[in-house]
Each structure stands twice: as C-alpha cells, then as structure tokens.
Amino acid sequence: MHRRDFLKASLAATALAAPLKSAAPAGIKLGLDTYSLRAFKWKAFELLDYAASQKADAIQISSLEDYESLDTGHLQQVRAKAEQLGIMIDAGTGCVCPLSKSWGKRAGTGRDAMLEGLRVAKQVNARSVRCFMGSMADRRTNDDSLARCMEETIKVFRSVKSEAQDLNVKIALENHAGDMQAREVLTIIEESGADFVGACLDTGNPMWVMENPLVTMEVLGSHVLTTHVRDSAVFEHPQGAAAQWVAMGDGNVDLAGIIALHRKLCPQAAMHLEIITGRPPQVLPYFDPAFWNWFPKMPAGEFVRFVDLAKHGHPFMGVMVIEDSANAKKLPEYQAALKEQQRVDLERSLDYARQALGVGIKWRG
C-alpha cells in the first residue's frame, strides 16, 4: 500500500470511529465555493438551499453574477435567507486590475470594481470579499506585465482603504490561475496594508506556478481570510511535471498538512471547497530553460518541494468528463453529464473533508 493511501485510510478510519475527537479545536467552518456547481447556473437562493442540504456551515458566493440582482433589496433578501439557514457568507467579485488580460472589456476603473464588490459584501453581511488580480497570461509574457499588474493592484487597494474600513469588510486577494506565487501575493498584501487586505488562499492554483500548496499556506497562512480548497494530481512528465485538478482525496496534495496549518494560522477562515474537475492535465516544462523566464525569482528550496510533490505523485486514473470540449456546448447529454460530475465530485469532496480531515461544525449535530 502506498504511503498516501495508507494515510487516507488511517485518517478515514479514525474520523469514522470517533468523529467528535477529530474536530478542529477552533471549529473550522466547512463551506463550498459556488464555482464548484458552475454548470447548474444557479443563483444565490438555489445555492444557499443546496449548501443547507449538505449541512455546510458557509458558502463563498464568489461571483457577482451569482445574484439575481445587485439591488439592495435583493441582496438583503439573500442575507436574510443565509441567516435563516445558519450559513455564513463570504463574498466575491472578479478581476480588479485594469492592466490585466483578465480585465477584458469591462467598463469603469479598478477602484469602481473593488467598491462594487465591497458594497455587495456589506449588504450580504460578509466579512471579506474575494477578488483576483489576473491570470497565467499576465505572467507568461516577455515584458513586465506581471510587475505592472501588481503595482496597479496595490494602487487600487490603497484607493479604497477608507471605504473598506468604514464598511468593516476586508479584501481577500486570491492567488489566481497562475498569476502569482505566494510571496508575490504577500507583497501586495503588505504594501497595500495588511490591516484591510488579506488572502483568499487557493490550494489548486499553486500548481501553475510550480508551488507546493504547503508552501502557499506557510507563506500566506497568517493573512488568510477565506479559502478555495481542492486536491490535485501532480506527477513527473518527460518535460518536467504535469498537474490536474481532482476531487478531494484523488490527488497527492498533503491536505492533512494544509489543514493542520489552517487550524494553527487561520482558524477563523472557512474552508470552502472549490472543486474543479473536467480539466485535462497541464504540463509544466521546467526542463526547458525558456520556461524559467517567467519565474526569475523563485527560491530553489521552494522549487525542490514542488519537484518532490511530483516525484511522489501519479496521474489520475479515474473516469472524468472533460469540460473544455467542443461537445460541451453542443450536446444536452454532455451538459447533463458535466452537471452530475460536478455534483458528485463536490459531495464526495465534502464527505472527505468531514470524515478524513475532520473539518466542519454543523454536520456533527
């Protein structure tokens, strides 16, 4: 039996035999990020009902598009429903950096986008609003796009400091889709002001910047306000390594180690599962010298920890419907399969988080 399989079995057996003893000392809330159910196209009320059916403690409504309306009346109804169900809301918005390729053709300024997110968060009684700077495209260029995006994001955050503090809502910057490593996110937090800016720590995105998620938690843990948690299958590849997002327990990320750090460094932050399956593996060709042009400041010690993760991993050998396919938009049967996959993978991930990792409060009752 592989060491990781033995650890999973041992953790699961312990949790099933004595679930109360596996409770997090600080009572980490277990929640879900709404992107996990993206194929359903549900809005806030439906998402809250689903979270309640899963005995979730919290939910991250990570996109403004998850609401029927951004009018105050509707947002207050969402807040009231969440309070009725006993579910804590963490809010979210999208890109807040106009220089990023992720900004697209949005109107307004970064300050406008950030203020809108803060206002919505306040209306639904959220303590933080998740946002992101950019994407892999901002890093993987041959110019200084990443540095300029970081500088612009700091300016945006500083420009809304007084409003954020008046609203008593903190900004949670995500390490998003291959844009920044943990130390770069930390730079933005510290230069913007750690009294009102923190992190939305994602455990899946570090793969695209060759970062072991344990390193991400070690660097950002004391600044974490909210999270996106999922597993990944990371394994060796002739060009370097490859990684694929999978359901909890199907990969080789040290989830038990991450949760131990979560309990120690940021127990007040909810553990939101953002389960993203249906994406093919992506290659990280770090044997190619040109690939390192995008990572000129990466510490060797942190890279070694990523290499070690890949060395002890293996490809995911289960069945998976691929979301990024031409058939996905053409066939109703394909869409139905994607919905079922998202639901099943999220629910078995919630079960893994409860039984193997001992996270969550409400389910114990």
What are the residue ranges spanned by the domains of the chain?
A: 25-364
Provide the b/e sequence for 348-359 (b: ≥16 CB within 10 Å). ebbebbbbbbbb
Q: How far apart are CA 9 and CA 118, in angstroms?
A: 42
- Say which residue the tokens 């060796």 belong to: 236
Residue 73 pLDDT class (50, 70, 90 cuts): very high
pLDDT at 156 over 90: yes
Q: How far apart are CA 353 and CA 347, in angstroms?
A: 10
- Say which residue the tokens 């299958």 belong to: 233
pLDDT at 323: 87
pLDDT at 12 over 50: no
Name the nearest CA neighbour of 349 among 195, 231, 212, 213. Answer: 231
Backbone angles phi, psi at 197, to 5 degrees: -120, 135
Strand order in the sheet with 58-61: 224-228, 197-202, 170-174, 128-132, 88-95, 58-61, 30-33, 271-273
Nearest-Å Rg of the Cα atoms of the chain is 20
pLDDT, mean of residues 344-356: 98
Q: How far apart are CA 258 and CA 228, in angstroms?
A: 12
Region of poorest pLDDT, from 41-55, 60-74, 322-336? 322-336
Q: Report the phi/psi class of residue 278: left, alpha or beta, with left for phi > 0 and alpha for psi in -120 to 50.
A: left
Residue 245: both structure tokens together: 């997002």
DSSP three-state, residue 212: coil
Backbone angles phi, psi at 224, to 5 degrees: -75, 130
Q: How far apart are CA 85 and CA 345, in angstroms?
A: 24
Q: How far apart are CA 292 and CA 303, in angstroms?
A: 11
pLDDT at 11 over 50: no
pLDDT, mean of residues 241-248: 98
* 25-364, CATH topology level: TIM Barrel (3.20.20)
| CA max distance for the chain | 56
Q: How far apart are CA 192 and CA 303, in angstroms?
A: 27
Q: Under 8 Å CB-to-CB from 181, ≥6 apart: which residues?
A: 175, 206, 209, 211, 295, 298, 302
Q: How many other C-beta atoms can be found within 10 angstroms of the C-beta atom of residue 2?
A: 10
Q: Angle CA(104)–CA(274)–CA(100) in degrees, nearest 5?
A: 20
pLDDT at 327: 67
pLDDT, mean of residues 332-355: 96
pLDDT at 15: 38
Residue 223 pLDDT class (50, 70, 90 cuts): very high
Is there a contact between 177 and 205 (Cβ–Cβ < 8 Å)? Answer: yes
Q: What is the pTM of this model?
A: 0.92
Q: How many other C-beta atoms can be found within 10 angstroms of the C-beta atom of residue 291?
A: 16
pLDDT at 24 over 80: no
Q: How far apart are CA 118 and CA 91, in angstroms?
A: 9
